[in-house]
Structures are given as C-alpha cells and as structure tokens.
C-alpha cells in the first residue's frame, strides 16, 4: 500500500484546518467575520496528528461495518418478502387463495350498468347554459 497519497491528504487537511482563521461568537451563532458585541473563540483542533489519524481510521471502520450491516438487513428483508411480519397483521399466504376463490365464486363477467330512463342510446353532448338557440 502506497502511503504517499495518505500523507498528502493528511498534510492538506492539516493546512486547511490551520488556515480557517478566527471564529467569532455573535449571540447564538458563529461567524468568521467580526460582529458588534461578538467575542473571538478558539476553534483549533487540539488533537495530535496521531489522534486525528486514529479517529479517521475508526470512522472508516464504522462506515464499513454499517455498509455490511445494511447489506445483511437488505438480504434478510429480501428473503422474508411476501411473508407477514406478524401473524396478527393479516392473512397468511396459505389462506390468501381460499379468500380469493370465495370472492370470485359465481360469474367472471363484470357487473352491468343499469340504464337510466333518459338513456336513448344517443351520445352525450355538453352544452354551456344559455348558449342554445331556441
């Protein structure tokens, strides 16, 4: 493993932290520009380079563990799809076909619409009120 890119990254990160400049507290907010009644606060990172590197290593290990846990969760969810999480939440897969068969017992034809007295088989035409010539 080549350590040059890592060393370069650490050097850039350290320089960026040092070049941030002063921080001022203005009431309940913080700013890099002075404000009336604001006080300058120390915002430097008191950790050593070794402590920062260790914190980055731990964060990377936690991200890896989180990705692995997510993949395991997704695999478990995929395996359990189609099954209810709890028996009390709904019918089981075994009872679903019986319920569907009870619904469709009878005819497979869709229900017919009832004709109204005014239906003479003519197409409906919409008319704006008051626009008809008498």
Length of the chain: 134
Coil vs helix vs strand at 39: strand
- Model's pTM, two decimal places? 0.35
Per residue in 79-90, pLDDT (tens digit) is: 888 655 555 555
Q: Nearest-5° angle of CA 105, CA 110, CA 111?
A: 95
Reported as a pLDDT band with limits 50, 70 and 90, residue 66 is very high
Sheet of 39-41: strands edge to edge?
Answer: 29-31, 23-26, 39-41
Reported as a pLDDT band with limits 50, 70 and 90, residue 74 is very high
pLDDT at 36: 87
Reported as a pLDDT band with limits 50, 70 and 90, residue 121 is confident
Query: What is the token pair recorded at 28?
Result: 């309940």
Per residue in 38-57, pLDDT (tens digit) is: 899 988 888 999 999 999 99
Residue 13, phi then psi, degrees to nearest 5: -65, -40
């Amino acid at each position: 493993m080549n350590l040059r890119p890592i060393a370069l990254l650490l050097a850039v990160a350290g320089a960026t932290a040092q070049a941030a400049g002063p921080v001022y507290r203005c009431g309940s907010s913080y700013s890099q520009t002075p404000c009336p009644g604001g006080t300058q606060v120390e915002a430097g990172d008191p950790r050593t380079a070794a402590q920062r590197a260790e914190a980055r290593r731990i964060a990377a290990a936690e991200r890896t563990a989180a990705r692995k846990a997510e993949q395991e969760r997704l695999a478990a969810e995929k395996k359990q799809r189609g099954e209810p999480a709890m028996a009390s939440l709904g019918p089981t897969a075994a009872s679903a076909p019986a319920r569907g068969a009870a619904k469709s017992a009878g005819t497979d034809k869709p229900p017919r619409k009832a004709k109204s007295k005014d239906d003479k088989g003519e197409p409906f035409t919409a008319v704006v009120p008051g626009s008809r010539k008498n």
